[in-house]
Each structure stands twice: as C-alpha cells, then as structure tokens.
C-alpha cells in the first residue's frame, strides 16, 4: 500500500511542523526502495494459491478438510495426509474443487512420516506450502496420563511437523520461497485441565515456529502458527462436548461462541499466501478473544 505524504503530514491547516517534515523526507527517501519492494498486484491476486503445491496433514476431516477446501478453492494442488481413506462425500467434494492427492500414513511413526514426505514430493514435484494440521489430543488428568499417550502426542503434534518441515525446507531454500503454517492451539499458551501432553506439544510447536523463522526467514520462507480456540470437530467434541466441561470454556470467550473450521482455514490461507510475505514467527490466535483475558 502506497503511503500518501499528505496523509502522513496530516496538517491541512498550515505548515507542517518540524517532525512532520522529517517524516515526509523519510517517506520520500523510503519510496525509492519501496518501488523495488512493493508488490504490484491486487490483494485478491496476493491471496491466490494458483498452481501452488501444498501439503495439508490431517486434510480429510475437521479443520484440515476446511483448509484443503480453502486451498483448492484458491487454486492450489493439494496432497492431503490421512491415516485412513476419506469418506465418499469428502472424496467427491475435494474432486469437485480440483487436483488433489491422498497420502495414507501414520505421522506418529518415524518411517511412515519419512515415506509421507517422499510421496508428497513425488506426487507434487515440489512443496511450496506445508500445513502441519494433523493432531491428537488425549484428554486425561496428570495423575493418570500414560507415557504412551504422551509419546504419541509429541510424535504426531511436534516430531512429524519438524520432520516434514525439514524435508520440504531443502527445496524451499533452493527456490528461496516457501510457507509453513503450524496449527497449534490456545492451549499452547494457557494451562488447561486434562490437556497436559497436548498443551506441551502445542507450546513446543509454537516454539518451533519461531526457530524456523529465525533460521529460514532469510531464505524467504515464512513460518507461522495459527492457534484456534475450541472448534466442534471430532477432537473438539471429545474434549469439550460435555456442557459441564465446554460451558466454562465458552463463558471465557469474549465472542460468546466457539470457532468454525472455515474461520481457522481462512487464517491459514492468508498466512500461506503472498499477502503475508512479511509476517513470520507469529502465533495468530483464532479464538474470539479468548487469549485477551
């Protein structure tokens, strides 16, 4: 967006004061650089993912399905990762939107995750955008949470995002372009009953987002987290479907409602697009204001 020196000076009644004059000179000087750096396209064009090759883990149901659809609606070719075949309805709805690939595998397993990364590169040719959306959330109190559940949560929610990002980063670094969006949670920054492993995993993934930015932003790879509050998917229902548990959480959300999968998908689409080229290392809370309290 071009800055208007008149607006910057902002003094319609007389001579600009000294600091305003300084700003004006600075704006004129910057504009020389801006002419090189400014993006000469419309916002609609910058939000497009036309011909982008994207991977969405957990992309066949819940929030991930909305992300797959939003990406395909924006012109992307998408490889969705899932542990099982999607329903006929999901298959049909994705096929109607464009070109997509199903990659079956288990992100809780190291070998399978490696194979998922290889297959994604094989079917897409390259990966421009990685969305680490797949996740698991054991609901248990600290005293009884099993080590197996802890390990599985860390494997799916943190290790797999790290492994896939590392694999696809090679091409992104070579091409000097890439986007990584990690779907985390407001539970990564708040203590929440019965979510010890889940919260720790999301906090770790948010931290990984920042480290990826520190190491990769110089290669024009933007990495961000999207952190939703409760969304009534299968995961949301399991943890918060009981009004006794969900009610108090709902009461804490200033917007007075839970989120929708499409609202999370819109935020992910924005961060995956060129419209967010100068945003990196951020945690975008899609939470109706939950984290402001």
Ligand X SMILES: NC(=O)c1ccc[n+]([C@@H]2O[C@H](COP(=O)([O-])OP(=O)(O)OC[C@H]3O[C@@H](n4cnc5c(N)ncnc54)[C@H](OP(=O)(O)O)[C@@H]3O)[C@@H](O)[C@H]2O)c1
- In the set 9, 20, 27, 83, which binds ligand X (CB under 6 A)? 83
Q: Using CB under 6 A as the criterion, what x/- string covers residues 235-254 for binding ligand X?
A: xx------------------
Strand runs (DSSP E) across the chain, as ranges? 53-57, 77-82, 100-104, 129-132, 178-183, 221-228, 283-286
- Binding to ligand X by residue 117, rule CB under 6 A? no
- Binding to ligand X by residue 58, rule CB under 6 A? yes
The sign of the dihedral angle between the CA atoms of 115, 62, 69, 98 is positive
- Binding to ligand X by residue 106, rule CB under 6 A? yes
Closer CB to ligand X, residue 124 or residue 235?
A: 235
Please report how close the Cβ of residue 274 comes to ligand X at its closest, in angstroms.
Answer: 24
- Rounded to 5, what percent of the chain is helix, strand, coil? 55, 15, 30
- Binding to ligand X by residue 133, rule CB under 6 A? yes
Q: State the helix-helix crossing angle for 110-124 and 160-175, rounded to 10 degrees.
A: 30
Closer CB to ligand X, residue 82 or residue 280?
A: 82
- Binding to ligand X by residue 82, rule CB under 6 A? yes
Closer CB to ligand X, residue 48 or residue 155?
A: 155
Which among 265, 264, 196, 272 has a CA at the least distance from the CA of 230?
Answer: 264
Give Dmax (Cα) for the chain. 72
Q: Which of 71, 100, 198, 240 is flagged as catalytic? A: 198
Let me know if 219 is a catalytic residue. no
Residue 205 falls in which region: left (phi positive, over 0), alpha (psi -120 to 50) or beta: alpha
- In the set 49, 56, 63, 158, which binds ligand X (CB under 6 A)? 63
Q: Using CB under 6 A as the criterion, what x/- string covers residues 177-206 for binding ligand X?
A: ------x-x---------------------
Reported as type and span, the H/E element at residue 236 is helix 234-240
- Binding to ligand X by residue 136, rule CB under 6 A? yes
| Calpha distance 276→117 (Å, rounded) | 25
Which structure tokens are listed for 269?
A: 């689409």
Using only C-alpha atoms, the chain has a radius of gyration, in whole angstroms, of 21
Please report how close the Cβ of residue 75 comes to ligand X at its closest, in angstroms.
Answer: 23
- In the set 124, 134, 212, 275, which binds ligand X (CB under 6 A)? 134
Q: Are 107 and 116 in contact (CB under 8 A)?
A: yes
Please report how close the Cβ of residue 230 comes to ligand X at its closest, in angstroms.
Answer: 4
Q: Which residue has the tokens 């860390």?
A: 154
Nearest residue to ligand X, using CB? 62
- Binding to ligand X by residue 288, rule CB under 6 A? no
Size of interface with ligand X, in residues (CB under 6 A): 29
Helix (H, G, I), strand (E, B) or coil at 287: coil
- Cβ count near 170 (within 10 Å): 11
Residues known to be catalytic: 198
Residues that bind ligand X (CB under 6 A): 57-58, 60-64, 81-84, 106-108, 133-137, 156, 183, 185, 228, 230-231, 233-236
């Amino acid at each position: 967006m071009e800055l208007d020196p008149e607006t910057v000076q902002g003094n319609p009644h007389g001579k600009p004061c000294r600091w305003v004059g300084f700003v004006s000179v600075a704006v004129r000087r910057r504009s020389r650089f801006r002419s090189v750096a400014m993006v000469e396209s419309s916002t609609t064009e910058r939000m497009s993912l036309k011909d982008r090759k994207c991977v969405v883990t957990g992309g066949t149901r819940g929030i991930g399905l909305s992300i797959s659809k939003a990406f395909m609606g924006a012109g992307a070719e998408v490889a969705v990762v899932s542990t099982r075949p999607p329903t006929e309805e999901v298959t049909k709805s994705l096929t109607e939107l464009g070109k997509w690939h199903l990659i079956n595998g288990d992100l809780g397993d190291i070998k399978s995750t490696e194979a998922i990364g290889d297959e994604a590169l094989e079917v897409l040719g390259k990966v421009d955008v990685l969305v680490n959306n797949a996740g698991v959330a054991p609901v248990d109190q600290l005293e009884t949470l099993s080590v197996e559940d802890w390990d599985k949560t860390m494997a799916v929610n943190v290790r797999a995002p790290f492994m896939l990002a590392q694999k696809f980063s090679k091409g992104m670094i070579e091409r000097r372009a890439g986007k990584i969006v990690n779907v985390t949670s407001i539970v990564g920054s708040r203590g929440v009953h019965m979510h010890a492993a889940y919260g720790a995993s999301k906090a770790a993934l948010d931290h990984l987002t920042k480290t990826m930015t520190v190491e990769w932003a110089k290669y024009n790879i933007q990495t961000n987290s999207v952190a939703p509050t409760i969304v009534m998917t299968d995961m949301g229902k399991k943890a918060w479907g009981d009004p006794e548990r969900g009610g108090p959480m709902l009461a804490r959300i200033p917007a007075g409602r839970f989120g929708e999968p499409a609202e999370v998908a819109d935020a992910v689409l924005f961060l995956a697009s060129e419209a967010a080229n100068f945003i990196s290392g951020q945690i975008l809370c899609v939470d109706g204001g939950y984290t402001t309290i």
